[in-house]
């Protein structure tokens, strides 16, 4: 396993016990990182307790990362507790939850829906990235891993145009930031999960996972291993890249067999 001995990692969107963010925090912590995890609810402290019980040095922050105040609170905790940030995993964000897929389609999505989805899925990553790149430049080292999706950058499903646009934007943010920071010892990459069986996965999503070439949905841990690799010191010559974690689903030419 890639080691992250004594590095400080901030992982956003880590409140769910079965989600990608918490899986990444567990794996980075097991590799030696000190971790700061965030979510928008108090359940983040349950995740902190689990990490500490496993021997990981961990802190948690309840924060709304769509605004600068929340970002500042997270970085202050990382600085006060561990001295700074070496690794940032931008995982915060989610698709819209709606009773009607048409409500998020290009002809039905409200402007409020559009802005809310972009703020939740793209602005959070931008604000956190903007906040850490200065200190990382000064240190001459940094790893930023953005959690995008196959939805937007390489594929799409009906009914949520804003989510797809935001996740495609995450890849653009990744590549542009990678170019801006490459000479400073900072790498910036993204992972694109496909059908992943988390607690929020619907029965439809699990059926889609079963239809992939691998024959099942992926797990949060499988995405976390890709994140941990990109966050490691050995990934120093990989930057601006998108790693797809989808069981070969998006490269399969034959469908419905």
User: What backbone torsions phi and psi does residue 106 show, to the nearest 5 degrees?
Assistant: -60, -30
With b for 16 or more beta-carbon neighbours within 10 A and e for fewer, the 119-142 pattern comes to bbbbbbbbbbbebbbeebbeeebb
| Sequence-ordered list of residues with C-beta below 8 angstroms from that of 181, at least 6 positions apart, any chain | 133, 136, 137, 142, 188
Q: How many helices (H) and strands (E) does the chain have?
A: 8, 7
Structure tokens, 45: 């402290």
Residues with catalytic function? 163
């Amino acid at each position: 396993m890639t080691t992250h001995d004594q590095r400080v990692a901030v992982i956003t969107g880590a409140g769910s016990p079965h989600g990608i963010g918490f899986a990444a925090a567990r794996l980075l912590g097991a590799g030696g990182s000190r971790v700061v995890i965030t979510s928008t609810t108090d359940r983040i402290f349950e995740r902190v307790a689990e990490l500490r019980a496993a021997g990981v040095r961990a802190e948690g922050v309840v924060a709304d990362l769509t605004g600068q105040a929340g970002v500042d609170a997270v970085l202050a905790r990382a600085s006060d507790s561990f001295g700074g940030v070496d690794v940032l995993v931008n995982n915060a964000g989610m698709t819209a939850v709606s009773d009607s897929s048409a409500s998020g389609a290009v002809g039905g999505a409200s402007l409020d829906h559009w802005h809310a989805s972009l703020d939740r899925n793209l602005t959070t990553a931008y604000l956190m990235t903007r906040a850490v790149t200065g200190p990382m430049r000064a240190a001459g080292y940094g790893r930023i891993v953005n959690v995008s999706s196959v939805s937007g950058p390489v594929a799409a499903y009906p009914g949520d145009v804003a989510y797809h646009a935001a996740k495609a934007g995450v890849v653009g943010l990744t590549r542009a930031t990678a170019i801006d920071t490459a000479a400073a010892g900072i790498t910036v990459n993204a992972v694109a999960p496909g059908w992943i069986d988390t607690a929020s996965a619907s029965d439809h999503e699990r059926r889609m996972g079963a239809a992939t070439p691998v024959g099942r949905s992926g797990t949060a841990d499988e995405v976390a291993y890709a994140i941990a690799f990109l966050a490691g010191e050995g990934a120093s010559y990989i930057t601006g890249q998108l790693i797809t974690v989808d069981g070969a689903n998006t490269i399969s030419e034959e469908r419905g067999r």
